[in-house]
Amino acid sequence: MKRVIYFSLSIFVLASCQKNMTSLNINPEAPSVVPSSTLVTQAEFNMASTASSSNVNLNIFRLIQQYWTETTYTDESNYNLATRSIPDNWWNAWYRDVLNNLQQARVFARKDITDAGTLANDTAIIDILQCYAYFNLVTTFGNIPYSQALNPENTFPKYDDAKTVYYDIISRLGKDAAALNPSAGSWGNADILYNGSPAAWAKFAYSLQLKMGALIGDSDPTESKSVMEAAAPHVFASNADNATFSFQSSPPYTNPIWVDLVQSGRTDFVATTTVIGIMTPLNDPRIPNYFTTDANNSYSGGIPGKGNNYPAFSHAGTAIVAPTFPGDLLDYAETRFYLAEGAARGFNMGAATAEQNYDSAITASIEFWGGTASDAATYLAQPTVAYTTATGTWQQKIGTQLYIALYNRGWDSWTEYRQLNYPTLVAPPTALSVFPQRFLYPSKEENVNTANYNAASAAIGGDKVGTKLWFDKN
């Protein structure tokens, strides 16, 4: 009997080794607190990676904009957004991978940044980055969760009116730019884009404001004018101001185009007849940087939406597909195009005329892509390019050149195209829908945030790709 007691007792002793049970539920291998700067670096990488990506599951704007078309699997070139759940992936990339990491950085910065001046700059930079992300979302989808977003306690965020969100972003950018203090510290090298420079971030904020102001030129000329005129004196002044993200030479932080086009070994994309047809007659000096030559040592493209034989056509240029090719989020060249737009609309964009801005924009773009000032001058001297003699309205001239300049910026190209409507992009005859004026809402939103989704869908005029967004009046 004693032995039984001993045996039983020993079990009870073993069984009672459960002091403070809940402490076992603290993961010893994952931190509950991280330095705020680590989240900023991650968010900037995610932002640059999403914007630069050529992954057919995520960023298909180069295809929609007919810079590239697909070789074998032509779904996305024909506007099939559903089979790969592209709207879900785009939405998640911005909300979850960009905005939420910035939001977490915002929270942690309040704890780990002790200097008030630095914290003010840090917070302003985070806010500018968040504005950039929201600008993308609101211009992609229409109404989006905004005032109730980024709060996991509220699992059913309502959608806010797109225009209201848009104007709020413009206003936030102004406040952020004003809050930046060049003499105080900030993120330093955790900020891959500008090494923490408050002055550079102020220029970025104003340039983004300018871009946003330009985009509402048709829908709200008054607001467009006031936003653009206020921002214009403070925007990017040279290519040195460009918001370019330096990717690294080895995984996982390489340029995503290298991952998709080189590392994968795949040959999914070729140039299109559309872009080659625009650039070749203009003798565009950027074409060797944009594209490789084809088998005949010239430039050619496949027909958008059709299957295309990879070896027969030009492909993405060798510079773009390098692992360290920088990700461009906002640049000087486009800024000058927006100034040109403003001037063409009769806004006060400073001393430069529409033509001068147009010339500067093209020159900046050519130089950005490795050309020289004289290349640019030669190019501009052509009557087909020169502002005064090029074909069409200012929308057509600027639209065409902006389209060329935004070659590696598919989403931006698509966004500008929706207002300017130039150059004309013809939907492939095999397209599954009309040209996408917006993205469908993610199917997950339909399934899990149903009531708010339904309200948003009704508010924007139906969750269809053909529904034009509020800023798109033509």
Partner 1 sequence: MRKLLTLFAVAMLFSVLAIAQTKTLSGKITDAKGQPVPFATVRIKGTKAGVSADADGNYSIKVSPSQTLIVTGAGMAPTEVVAPDAPTFNITVAMKDASMTEVVVTALGIRRSKNELPYSVQRIGGDEVSKERSGNFITNMEGKVSGVTINQANTLGGSTNVILRGYKSALGDNQALFVIDGVPIDNTNTTSINQVPGTQGTQSSGLGGYDYGNAAADINPDDIASISVLKGAAASALYGERGFNGVIIITTKKGRKGLGITVNGGVTTGAIDKSTFAKYQHTYGANYGSANGYGSPDGNFLYFDVLGNGTNDLVTPTTEDASWGAKFDPNLMVYQWEAFDKTSSTYHKATPWVAAQHDPTTFWTKPFSYNGSVFIEGGNDKSTFTAGYTRNSDRGILPNSQILKDMVNTSGTLNITDKLTAGASINFTNISGLGRYGTGYASNNEATNFREWWEMNVDIQDLKNAYSRTHQNTTWNWKNVQDETNGLVPIYWNNPYYDRYESYETDGRSRYFGNVYLNYKPTEYLNFLGRVSLDNYSELQQERYAVGSVGVPYYSRFNHTFQEYNYDFLANFDKNISNDFNLKALIGTNLRQDLDNSIYGITNGGLVLPHLFTLSNSINTPNAPYERYTNIQVGGVFAGATLSWRKMLTLDGTVRRDQSSTLPAGHNSYYYPAVSGSFVFSELLKSQNWLSYGKIRANYATVGHSANAYGVYDTYNLNPPFGTNAVASATATKNNIGLVPEKNRSYEFGVEASVLQSRLGFDVTYYHALTYNQIMPVQISDATGYDARWLNAGSIQNQGFEVSVNGTPVKTHNFSWDITVNWTRNRNKVVALYDTATNLQIAAFQGNVTLNATKGQPYGTIRGNDFIYTNGQRTVSNDPNNNPGYYETTSTSNNVIGNANPDWLGSITNTFRYKNWTLNFLIDARKGGQLFSLDMYYGLATGLYPETAGKNDLGNPVRNSIANGGGIIYKGVTPDGKANTQRVDISDLFGAYGYLRNPAKAFVYDAGFVKLREAALSYSLPAKVVGKLGQNVFKGIDVSVIGRNLWIIHKNLPYADPEEIVTSGNAALGYQVGAYPTARTFAFNLKLRF
Q: Give, as ranges, the residues between 377 and 436 that touch partner 1 (CB under 8 A).
A: 430, 432-434
Q: Is 157 in the site for partner 1 (CB under 8 A)?
A: yes
Q: Is 240 in the site for partner 1 (CB under 8 A)?
A: no
Is residue 256 a contact partner of residue 407, using CB atoms and an 8 Å limit?
no
Q: Is 459 in the site for partner 1 (CB under 8 A)?
A: no
How far is it, in rounded angstroms, from Cα 145 to Cα 126?
A: 19
Residue 28 or residue 383: which is nearer to partner 1 going by CB? 28
Q: Is 318 in the site for partner 1 (CB under 8 A)?
A: no
Q: Is 449 in the site for partner 1 (CB under 8 A)?
A: yes
Q: Is 292 in the site for partner 1 (CB under 8 A)?
A: no
Q: Is 152 in the site for partner 1 (CB under 8 A)?
A: yes
Share in percent of the chain as helix, strand, coil (round to 5): 55, 5, 45
Q: Which stretch in 223-231, 251-259, 356-364, 375-383 sits in contact with partner 1 by CB under 8 A?
A: 251-259
List the end-to-end C-alpha distance of the chain, in Å, as a whole number.
Answer: 94
Residue 242 or residue 449: which is nearer to partner 1 going by CB? 449
- The amino acid that residue 103 corresponds to is Q
- The amino acid that residue 351 corresponds to is A
Q: Is 80 in the site for partner 1 (CB under 8 A)?
A: yes
Residue 133 or residue 287: which is nearer to partner 1 going by CB? 133
Cβ neighbour number for residue 396 with a 10 Å cutoff:
16
Check residue 262 and report its DSSP letter. I
Q: Which two tokens stand for residue 101?
A: 């990491």
Q: Is 322 in the site for partner 1 (CB under 8 A)?
A: no
Q: For residues 116-145, which are near partner 1 according to CB under 8 A?
A: 144-145
Helix intervals (H) in 2-115: 2-15, 36-52, 61-64, 86-92, 100-112
How far is it, in rounded angstroms, from Cα 213 to Cα 225?
A: 7
How far is it, in rounded angstroms, from Cα 457 to Cα 443?
A: 12
Residue 195 or residue 389: which is nearer to partner 1 going by CB? 195
Contact pick of 97, 176, 331, 334 for partner 1 (by CB under 8 A)? 97
Q: How far is the CB of 329 from partner 1 (least distance, A)?
A: 17
Q: Which two tokens stand for residue 313?
A: 């056509």
Integer-rounded Cα Rg, in Å, for the chain is: 25
How far is it, in rounded angstroms, from Cα 55 to Cα 87?
A: 13
Q: Is 474 in the site for partner 1 (CB under 8 A)?
A: no
Q: Is 455 in the site for partner 1 (CB under 8 A)?
A: no
Q: Which stretch in 89-97, 111-119, 203-211, 385-393 sits in contact with partner 1 by CB under 8 A?
A: 89-97
Q: How far is the CB of 168 from partner 1 (least distance, A)?
A: 16
Residue 56 or residue 364: which is nearer to partner 1 going by CB? 56
Contact pick of 31, 183, 240, 351 for partner 1 (by CB under 8 A)? 31
Helix intervals (H) in 180-253: 198-215, 221-231
How far is it, in rounded angstroms, from Cα 199 to Cα 197?
A: 5
How far is it, in rounded angstroms, from Cα 102 to Cα 126?
A: 6
- The alpha carbon dihedral of 402, 406, 412, 417 has a sign of positive
- What backbone phi and psi angles, to 5 degrees, belong to 316? -55, 140
Residue 159 or residue 417: which is nearer to partner 1 going by CB? 159
Check residue 263 and report its DSSP letter. I
Q: Is 250 in the site for partner 1 (CB under 8 A)?
A: yes
CA angle 37/39/41 to nearest 5° reads: 75
Q: Which stretch in 61-69, 80-88, 114-122, 350-358 sits in contact with partner 1 by CB under 8 A?
A: 80-88
Q: How far is the CB of 150 from partner 1 (least distance, A)?
A: 5
Q: For residues 297-316, which are near partner 1 according to CB under 8 A?
A: 303, 306-312
Size of the residue set binding partner 1 (CB under 8 A): 102
Q: How far is the CB of 58 from partner 1 (least distance, A)?
A: 14
Q: Is 458 in the site for partner 1 (CB under 8 A)?
A: no
Q: Is 75 in the site for partner 1 (CB under 8 A)?
A: yes
- The amino acid that residue 190 corresponds to is A
How far is it, in rounded angstroms, from Cα 185 to Cα 331?
A: 24
CA 412 → CA 2, 214, 384, 407, distances in Å?
A: 82, 13, 24, 9
Q: How far is the CB of 132 from partner 1 (least distance, A)?
A: 16
Q: Is 52 in the site for partner 1 (CB under 8 A)?
A: no
Q: Which two tokens stand for residue 365?
A: 């773009």
Q: For residues 163-222, which are near partner 1 according to CB under 8 A?
A: 189-190, 192
Q: Which stretch in 24-32, 174-182, 340-348, 392-400 sits in contact with partner 1 by CB under 8 A?
A: 24-32
How far is it, in rounded angstroms, from Cα 275 to Cα 65?
A: 9
Q: Is 294 in the site for partner 1 (CB under 8 A)?
A: no
Residue 29 or residue 183: which is nearer to partner 1 going by CB? 29
Q: Is 266 in the site for partner 1 (CB under 8 A)?
A: yes
Contact pick of 195, 238, 264, 389 for partner 1 (by CB under 8 A)? 264
